């Protein structure tokens, strides 16, 4: 899994980078077909707030995007991670449900 962290109008410090990597390392637990993750951090949007956007690319051209705006950079990272976790879990459950309904139908209904 490739991880890319981009800072716009802000310097990505080691503590921010560590927090992001710690959060992203949990993503394969929610959805295991992830190929790359891109995190875009924007500082001082409009002079007061910050933004964190997480873009996850997975197999079969699935792209998941989670974005959060807020005052504190660390809380933005946490909230964006929660949004992404929800999306990945929902997609994984959807895939599981589709597989089980196909298996249960049996395929031989004459």
Each residue's pLDDT tens digit, 22-76: 999 999 999 888 999 999 999 876 667 899 999 999 998 999 999 999 989 999 9
pLDDT value for 108: 52
pLDDT at 107 over 70: no
Residue 45 inside a domain? The answer is: yes
Residue 72 inside a domain? The answer is: yes
Residue 12 inside a domain? The answer is: yes
Residue 110 inside a domain? The answer is: no
Residue 108 inside a domain? The answer is: no
Give the global pTM. 0.83
Backbone angles phi, psi at 101, to 5 degrees: -70, -35
Could you tell me which residues come within 8 angstroms of residue 78 by beta carbon, excluding any fewer than 6 positions away? 23
* 3-class state of residue 42 by DSSP: strand
7: tokens are 């800072």
Structural domains of the chain, count: 1
> 81 near 54, Cβ under 8 Å?
yes
> 33 near 24, Cβ under 8 Å?
no
For residue 20, the domain's CATH number is 3.30.160.100
pLDDT value for 69: 92
* Domain hosting residue 11, numbered range: 2-102
Residue 88 inside a domain? The answer is: yes
Residue 11 inside a domain? The answer is: yes
Give Cα separations from 102 to 25, 32, 54, 94 (angstroms). 32, 21, 33, 13
Residue 91 inside a domain? The answer is: yes
16: tokens are 């921010």
């Amino acid at each position: 899994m490739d991880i890319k962290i981009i800072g716009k109008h802000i310097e990505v410090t080691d503590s921010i980078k560590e927090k992001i990597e710690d959060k992203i390392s949990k993503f394969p637990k929610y959805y295991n077909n992830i190929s790359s993750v891109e995190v875009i951090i924007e500082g001082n949007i409009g002079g007061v707030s910050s933004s964190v956007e997480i873009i996850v690319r997975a197999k079969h051209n699935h792209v998941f995007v989670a974005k959060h705006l807020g005052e504190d950079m660390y809380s933005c990272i946490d909230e964006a991670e929660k949004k992404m976790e929800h999306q990945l879990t929902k997609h994984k459950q959807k895939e599981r449900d589709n597989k089980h309904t196909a298996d249960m139908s049996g395929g031989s209904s004459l």
